[in-house]
Amino acid sequence: MSGTIMPNLWGGKSIEIMKKKFGDNFDIIEEAGNSALYYVNVDEHVDFPRPISHKFIYIGGIGKVEPKPLEKKFDDIMKNSKKGVILVSFGTVALSVNMPQNVKKIFLETFKNFPDITFIWKYENEEDGIIQGYANVFTSKWVPQNDLLEHPKLLAFVSHGGMNSAQEGSSKGVPMVMIPLFADQYRNSKICHVGICRDSPQSGRVVTAVTTIHLSRP
């Protein structure tokens, strides 16, 4: 099954580039099967225990960079928050701006339930006025995720559960609420054993997850 799914869904441009280099007869599945070693971008300490071949070499976090000081915009948000900050980001593929209006409303009403907590939401259109009336919510087209996760006032990370986000959050010991959308995100969410693993967010579940994290903080 993976021999059919992987080239069609995940190969894409990579296969095209490799065929230009190695010829049209290049078969990525065959070459993968004949490989001497497999470098896997996963941290073995946050993966399910399973039997693996000696060919597997874990290199999780190979692209990790050292956190930098926050730029003034985000530093001010952190300093001015009463009880801390929760970061909300669903990556670069599933954009928050494209969410159905009712889902956006669920998030905003959830944020409103915690007036003493500040929420930074990666939202790709800061001009549409969606956060008008929500004083504890800040939106930004881009967020310095790695730097924010390192900050001592960050309470939690609401994420789609992408591998990079899961690794960054777990390596920094940040409580995570994951709402997986597709692909490996469901598996990553199960690995991190978080408060939500659903096809779509529901107000009560999001509130419960955030409340649990909030109450568990000293």
Q: Is pLDDT of 74 > 90? A: yes
Contacts for 56 with CB less than 8 Å, ≥ 6 apart = 37, 38, 40
In this structure, the answer to whether residues 149 and 197 fall within a common structural domain is: yes
Q: Would you place residue 198 in the very low, low, confident or very high pLDDT band (cuts 50, 70, 90)?
A: very low
Assess whether pLDDT exceeds 70 at residue 213.
no
* 173 vs 121, residue with greater confidence: 121
Domain range for residue 29? 2-58
H-assigned helices in 144-194: 145-150, 163-171, 185-192
| Cα(136)–Cα(125) distance, integer angstroms | 18
Identify whether residues 90 and 171 lie together within a single domain: yes
What per-residue confidence (pLDDT) applies to 84? 92
pLDDT over 90 for what percent of the chain?
30
- Range of weakest confidence among 63-72, 155-164, 176-185, 195-204: 195-204
Give every CB contact of residue 121 below 8 A, 6+ residues apart in sequence. 88, 89, 96, 107, 111, 131, 137, 138, 139, 140
pLDDT at 194: 45
> Can you give the pLDDT at residue 18?
82
**DSSP E strand boundaries for 75-187:** 85-89, 118-122, 137-140, 154-159, 176-178
116 and 199 both lie in a single domain: yes
Tell whether 63 is covered by a domain. Answer: no
Q: Between these two residues, 162 and 149, which has the higher pLDDT value?
A: 149
Residues 197, 123 share a domain: yes
pLDDT at 199 over 50: no
Lowest mean pLDDT among 105-114, 130-139, 176-185: 176-185
Q: What angle do CA 29, 35, 40 make, to 5 degrees?
A: 85
Q: What number of residues does the chain have?
A: 218
* Total domains in the fold of the chain: 2
